[in-house]
Amino acid sequence: MQDLWQEEEDFDEDFGLADRQQTALCTLQAAWEEALEQGVEPDILIETSIFAALSRIVTENGEDVAADYCAKLPERIQTGEFTMFRVLN
């Protein structure tokens, strides 16, 4: 899937995938906090964020790709991929 907010050639060669992912996450977290400050409820943010992401996947890659992506989410969630703060033993 193509980067949603900036084209690949706009990045330095040293700005790798992990750096771009971190930048994207920080940007989205800042937008999330701003929406909360403006009075948008967390449940509305959750639903809207999921809708926006899935709509983008469908538009750029089709419904089958979006469905396949979603089918893999339960395992990814259960293995902690989306847990922001966890203790590693």
Residue-wise pLDDT for 55-73, tens only, equals 999 999 999 999 999 999 9
Q: Give the C-alpha distances (Å, rounded to integers) separating 29 from 16, 45, 54, 84.
A: 20, 11, 18, 12
Rg from Cα positions in the chain:
15
Report yes or no: 15 and 21 within 8 Å, Cβ to Cβ. Answer: no
Residue-wise pLDDT for 15-29, tens only, equals 688 899 999 999 999
pTM of the model: 0.70
